[in-house]
Amino acid sequence: MNILPKKKWHVRTKENIARVRRDEKEAAEKEQQRLERAIAAENERRLEALRTQAAKRLESFLSVYLLLIAMEISDSASNTELELAERLNFGQGNKEYQEEKRKEQAELDSKMGIQKYFAEGTNELNKVQEWYTKIRRPLLKDEVEEKRERLKEISASESSSGETVFTQFKFHSFYGNA
pLDDT digits (tens, 9 = 90+) for 50-98: 999 999 988 888 888 888 888 877 766 666 666 666 666 655 557 788 8
Q: Are residues 152 and 177 in the same domain?
A: yes
Three-state secondary structure call for residue 172: strand
Cα separations (Å) of 178 from 86, 131, 155, 167? 67, 18, 14, 12
The boundaries of the domain holding residue 74 are 14-116
Based on the domain organization, do 96 and 141 belong to the same domain? no
In a domain, 8, yes or no: no
pLDDT of 178 reads 46
Number of compact structural domains in the chain: 2
Claim to verify: residue 103 and residue 142 sit in the same structural domain: no
Angle at 60 between CA 58 and CA 64, to 5 degrees: 115
| Co-location of 99 and 170 in the same domain | no
Residue 39 has pLDDT above 90, yes or no: yes
pLDDT at 48: 94
Q: Quote the pLDDT of residue 167.
A: 52
Closest CA to 42 of 31, 30, 50, 53: 50
Q: Are 165 and 155 in contact (CB under 8 A)?
A: yes
Largest CA distance in the chain: 127
Could you tell me if 27 and 108 lie in one domain? yes
d(CA 10, CA 17): 10
Q: Do residues 44 and 106 share a domain?
A: yes
**Whole-prediction pTM:** 0.32
- Are 112 and 135 in a shared domain? no
Q: What is the mean pLDDT of residues 124-138?
A: 78
Same domain, yes or no, for 24 and 93?
yes
- 105 in the same domain as 59: yes
